[in-house]
């Protein structure tokens, strides 16, 4: 096991869009193999990795929040959870193609295609060196997979929530719109709330704050960024107490 490892067990939150090609829809083999390659590197350095995957490249329940919608919003959230199952299966094959052992564990039982999430079994998989891919969020509607990432990080006692984004970390404003936006190295949970910074959804931040679980927001598009993040090198924005 590597001496330089800062975080021995991590929850890696990947948005659905991170698996998508340009336009943010669907699933791209190229994007998936790049991410899988980084996960393989991180795993090789001795880190236990639980991945929580979103479904926004396919569907988000909140899109159906209009009162006139034919599909009820609660229904749509379950559809969103199924979208994360689709992404998880794709990611499983992409990671296994690199020779790693993986398990998909779903919060909504889909027993023909994945195990059901059971906390103690999840921890056992990690201890045996398997990468676990946590699908269907927490299995309840009206929350997102950000909340699931925080919740699972607490449950499996991960050292950190790694939130992968396509910008370098948390900025004072949207860096893709405002060229003067400033990148923060470190923030407290309070600052995130007070400045209303868009990091993860409010429930996720609240859970992490209440249990002092650090969050590291970093740019997964940069080669080697996941390994840098777990080794504690200065990368992205660190959020803690």
Binding site for ligand UDP (CB under 6 A): 15-17, 54-56, 60-62, 77, 80-81, 83-84, 137-138, 140-141, 143-146, 148
What is the spatial distance between Cα 160 and Cα 152, in angstroms, rounded to a whole number?
Answer: 11
Q: What would the two tokens of residue 54 be?
A: 């979103």
Q: How far is the CB of 57 from ligand UDP (least distance, A)?
A: 6
* Complex with ligand UDP: residue 13 or 103, whichever CB lies closer: 13
What is the spatial distance between Cα 165 and Cα 142, in angstroms, rounded to a whole number?
Answer: 22
Count of other CB atoms within 10 angstroms of residue 113: 13
Q: What would the two tokens of residue 69 be?
A: 């919608």
What is the spatial distance between Cα 58 and Cα 61, in angstroms, rounded to a whole number?
Answer: 10
Q: Annotation-wise, does 56 bind a ligand?
A: yes
What is the spatial distance between Cα 1 and Cα 161, in angstroms, rounded to a whole number?
Answer: 21
Q: How far is the CB of 12 from ligand UDP (least distance, A)?
A: 12
Q: How far is the CB of 27 from ligand UDP (least distance, A)?
A: 12
Q: Annotation-wise, does 165 bind a ligand?
A: yes
* Complex with ligand UDP: residue 199 or 231, whichever CB lies closer: 199
The answer to whether residues 144 and 137 touch, using CB atoms and an 8 Å cutoff, is yes
* Complex with ligand UDP: residue 56 or 231, whichever CB lies closer: 56
Helix axes 145-155, 202-210, angle to 10 degrees: 20
Across the beta sheet with 48-53, the strand order is 115-116, 102-106, 131-135, 48-53, 9-14, 160-165, 215-219, 237-240, 186-188
Q: Annotation-wise, does 141 bind a ligand?
A: yes
Q: How far is the CB of 233 from ligand UDP (least distance, A)?
A: 25
Q: Annotation-wise, does 13 bind a ligand?
A: yes
Q: Annotation-wise, does 16 bind a ligand?
A: yes
Q: How far is the CB of 20 from ligand UDP (least distance, A)?
A: 9
What is the spatial distance between Cα 55 and Cα 7, in angstroms, rounded to a whole number?
Answer: 26
* Complex with ligand UDP: residue 80 or 236, whichever CB lies closer: 80
Q: Annotation-wise, does 46 bind a ligand?
A: no
* Complex with ligand UDP: residue 64 or 231, whichever CB lies closer: 64
Annotated binding site for ATP: 13-16, 56, 60, 165, 171, 174
């Amino acid at each position: 096991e590597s001496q330089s490892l800062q975080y021995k067990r991590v929850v890696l939150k990947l948005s659905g869009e991170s698996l998508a090609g340009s336009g943010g829809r669907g699933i791209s083999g190229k994007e998936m193999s790049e991410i899988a390659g980084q996960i393989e590197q991180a795993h090789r350095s001795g880190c236990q990795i639980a991945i929580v995957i979103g479904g926004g490249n396919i569907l988000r329940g909140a899109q159906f929040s209009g009162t006139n919608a034919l599909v009820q919003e609660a229904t749509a959230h379950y559809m969103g959870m199924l979208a994360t199952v689709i992404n998880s299966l794709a990611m499983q094959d992409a990671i296994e193609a690199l020779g790693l052992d993986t398990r998909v564990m779903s919060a909504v039982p889909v027993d023909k295609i994945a195990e059901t999430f059971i906390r103690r079994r999840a921890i056992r998989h990690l201890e045996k060196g398997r990468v676990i891919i946590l699908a269907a969020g927490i299995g309840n509607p009206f929350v997102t997979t950000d909340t699931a990432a925080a919740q699972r990080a607490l449950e499996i006692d991960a050292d950190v929530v790694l939130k992968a984004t396509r910008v370098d970390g948390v900025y004072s404003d949207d860096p893709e719109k405002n060229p003067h936006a400033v990148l923060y190295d470190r923030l407290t949970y309070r600052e995130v709330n007070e400045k209303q910074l868009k990091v993860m959804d409010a429930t996720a931040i609240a859970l992490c704050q209440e249990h002092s679980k650090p969050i590291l927001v970093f740019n997964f598009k940069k080669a080697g960024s996941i390994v840098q993040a777990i080794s504690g090198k200065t990368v992205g924005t660190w959020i803690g107490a």
